[in-house]
Amino acid sequence: MTEKQFQPGTQHPDEWQNDLNPHAQAGQNNERSDAEQIKQAATAYEIKDIHRQFHGFSDDELKRIPLLPLGSRLEQGATYVDLHDPQLREIKALGNMKAGQYNWYVPKSEVDYQLWNRLIGITTPERLGDAEDT
């Protein structure tokens, strides 16, 4: 007799699985990674409303700002900015967060620090890489 190997989320009979554990993997970072999805995502360049909002950014800069695809799960503990948020606040993601219809999430890990600082409204030359050497 072979013993069936236990897999998390499969402890309930199939007919009751969804009732007893409707979101079995919620909060887990074991789905396809954000990094894989980002490579297929739109960029800020492709959204007209973002062009209007960030008119001081060049087309090349906007092309370097990836947006998470709709439905993508945010990586728990990672930093993001939602370009749809007028205050452009940095957020630390929780494991149950997903990119919704009204989100333009940009992962900090995918944007160089100078461009990130401009995105979130930092204007000091030192933080934008524009400081003169003394």
Q: Give the Cα separation of 134 and 122 in Å (integer).
A: 22
What are the residue ranges spanned by the domains of the chain? 31-128
Say whether 34 sits in a helix, a strand or coil: helix
Residue 125 has what pLDDT? 66
Contacts of 13 (CB under 8 A, 6+ apart): none
Model confidence pLDDT, tens digit, residues 93-134: 998 999 998 999 999 999 999 999 999 998 776 656 665 654
Residue 30 has pLDDT above 60, yes or no: no
Residue 78 has pLDDT above 90, yes or no: yes
Residue 4 has what pLDDT? 54
Residue 27 has what pLDDT? 56
b/e 7-37 (16+ beta carbons within 10 angstroms → b): eeeeeeeeeeeeeeeeeeeeeeeeeeebeeb
pLDDT confidence band for 63 (50 / 70 / 90): very high
Residue 92 has pLDDT above 70, yes or no: yes
Of 112, 38, 21, 110, nearest in space to 73 by CA: 38
- For CA atoms 73, 45, 111, 82, the dihedral sign is negative
Task: Please state which of the ranges 6-10, 32-36, 126-130 shows the lowest mean pLDDT.
Answer: 32-36
Q: Give the Cα separation of 21 and 23 in Å (integer).
A: 6
Residue 33 has pLDDT above 90, yes or no: no
